[in-house]
């Protein structure tokens, strides 16, 4: 069917079409979206984690991104926040806004991307809203569950804890560049939240954060919230083969891994006595986990080179001050 302008489709027909695409039912869903509110039954005795994030066209993505990728990522970044808490994802609510004349195919494409990510991670979409706006935007609230008190925060790292990181860093930033390898592009467009790893590290890690703004910057959040200093050993930062191949051409091959955002890997503080348990949890989650530094008394983040000298930390990413996302790796 040819794409018609969504202005001709009308609110209720569009919502009906989106409802056919999205997984509306799932664990705990008592009354699905479609009434004034959805009704859910929280897992008995558990606590809930709640988080909200928004992506906006020409701020977080542009027309080069397939709508389904935009939708996937809009949900995935929220699930990554749940992963960093050690939570199990359950439900999401989606507020979608778009300009008059936006092709229906694009709006439904975004819904299909949200749906694909929701199905992949077992999330039911229990609320939705569509609205006019000058630019396409997707605001998603995600809800997950944790055993009481077993959530991971940014605030628990202690001097002596090891700093461990999942997967590889810098791929997503390089994935924005023209001619980037497909594996890098995929990391940028279809991030995989480390949900299984996060749950596995609950009760093992003392602090956790997901890397959305860049390794150095998000590590600084952990150090600050925990009231400790973090030492990051640059040579131990894990990178992928496509990253290293691509980064060779850069004046400073380490910058994207250190400062590039949107990797959605986890940074975790682990007491040395629990490192084996953490590595076992990573194996169960089929995720690489690397020791990349340590926490000490003090404040701030120091990045040290293999020769022991200190490397200046480039300034962090600010979502409001930053140039548009597509001005190259950050």
Q: Is the dihedral angle over the CA atoms 65, 66, 71, 76 positive or is it negative?
A: negative
Comparison of 68 and 143: residue with beta carbon closer to its own copies: 143
Comparison of 30 and 306: residue with beta carbon closer to its own copies: 30
Among 68, 74, 76, 93, binds its own copies (CB under 8 A): 93
112 binds its own copies (CB under 8 A): no
143 binds its own copies (CB under 8 A): yes
CA distance 122 to 43: 15
Among 23, 24, 53, 194, binds its own copies (CB under 8 A): 53
Classify 223 in phi/psi space as left (phi over 0), alpha (psi -120 to 50) or beta: alpha
CA distance 115 to 120: 8
Going by their DSSP bridges, the two strands 88-98 and 124-132 should be labelled as parallel
Among 11, 62, 252, 310, binds its own copies (CB under 8 A): 11
Residues numbered 182 to 221 that lie near its own copies (CB under 8 A) are: 208-210
> Which residue's structure tokens are 């008394």?
297
Listed ranges 153-161, 162-170, 279-287, 305-313: which one lies at the site for its own copies (CB under 8 A): 153-161
Listed ranges 10-18, 61-69, 161-169, 304-312: which one lies at the site for its own copies (CB under 8 A): 10-18
- Which two three-digit tokens encode residue 181? 């390898």
Listed ranges 30-38, 67-75, 270-278, 288-296: which one lies at the site for its own copies (CB under 8 A): 30-38
Among 17, 19, 27, 47, binds its own copies (CB under 8 A): 47
Residue of 220, 218, 212, 265 lying closest to 238 (CA atoms) = 265
Q: Is the dihedral angle over the CA atoms 247, 248, 251, 253 positive or is it negative?
A: positive
- Minimum Å distance from CB 89 to its own copies? 11
């Amino acid at each position: 069917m040819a794409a018609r302008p969504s202005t001709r489709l009308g609110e209720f027909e569009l919502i009906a079409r989106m409802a056919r695409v999205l997984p509306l039912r799932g664990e705990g869903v008592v009354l699905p979206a479609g009434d004034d509110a959805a009704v859910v039954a929280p897992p008995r005795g558990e606590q809930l984690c709640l988080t909200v994030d928004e992506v906006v066209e020409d701020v977080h993505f542009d027309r080069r991104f397939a709508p389904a990728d935009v939708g996937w990522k809009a949900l995935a970044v929220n699930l990554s926040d749940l992963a960093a808490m050690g939570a199990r994802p359950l439900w999401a609510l989606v507020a979608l806004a778009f300009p008059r004349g936006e092709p229906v195919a694009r709006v439904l494409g975004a819904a299909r991307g949200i749906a694909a990510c929701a199905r992949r991670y077992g999330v039911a979409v229990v609320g939705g809203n569509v609205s006019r706006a000058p630019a396409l935007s997707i605001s998603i609230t995600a809800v997950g569950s944790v055993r009481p008190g077993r959530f991971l925060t940014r605030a628990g790292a202690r001097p002596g804890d090891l700093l461990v990181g999942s997967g590889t860093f810098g791929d997503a930033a390089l994935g924005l560049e023209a001619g980037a390898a497909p594996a890098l592009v995929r990391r940028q467009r279809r991030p995989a939240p480390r949900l299984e790893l996060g749950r596995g590290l609950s009760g093992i890690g003392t602090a956790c954060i997901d890397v959305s703004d860049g390794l150095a910057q998000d590590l600084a959040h952990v150090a600050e919230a925990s009231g400790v200093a973090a030492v990051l050993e640059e040579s131990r930062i894990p990178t992928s083969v496509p990253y290293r191949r691509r980064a060779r051409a850069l004046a400073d091959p380490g910058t994207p891994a250190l400062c590039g955002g949107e990797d959605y890997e986890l940074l975790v503080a682990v007491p040395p006595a629990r490192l084996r348990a953490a590595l076992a949890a990573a194996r169960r989650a089929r995720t690489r986990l690397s020791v990349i530094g340590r926490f000490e008394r003090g404040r701030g983040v120091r990045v040290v080179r293999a020769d022991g000298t200190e490397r200046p930390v480039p300034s962090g990413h600010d979502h409001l001050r930053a140039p548009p996302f597509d001005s190259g790796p950050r």
